[in-house]
Amino acid sequence: MASNRVGDMSIDELRSMIYQIVDERTLKLLPRRASPRSVKEIMDSIDRHRIKPPDGSQSNVELIREDRDR
- Residue 62 domain flag: no
The answer to whether residue 26 is domain-embedded is yes
User: Tell me, what's the pLDDT at 2?
Assistant: 58
Q: How far apart are CA 33 and CA 55, in angstroms?
A: 41
Report yes or no on 69 lying in a domain. Answer: no
> Does residue 23 lie in a domain region?
yes
Tens of pLDDT along 16-25?
999 999 999 9
pLDDT higher than threshold 90 for residue 27: no
CB 14 within 8 A of CB 1: no
**Does residue 9 lie within any of the structural domains?**
yes
Residue 18 falls within a domain, yes or no? Answer: yes
Residue 3 is predicted with a pLDDT of 59
Q: Residue 28 has what pLDDT?
A: 84
Q: Is residue 66 part of a domain?
A: no
What are the tens digits of pLDDT across the range 30-58? 766 777 888 999 999 999 999 988 999 99
- Per the structure, the count of domains in the chain is 1
Could you tell me if residue 19 is inside a domain?
yes
Identify the CA nearest to 1 among candidates 13, 18, 15: 13
Domain interval for residue 40: 1-51
Phi, psi (deg, nearest 5) at residue 37: -85, 145
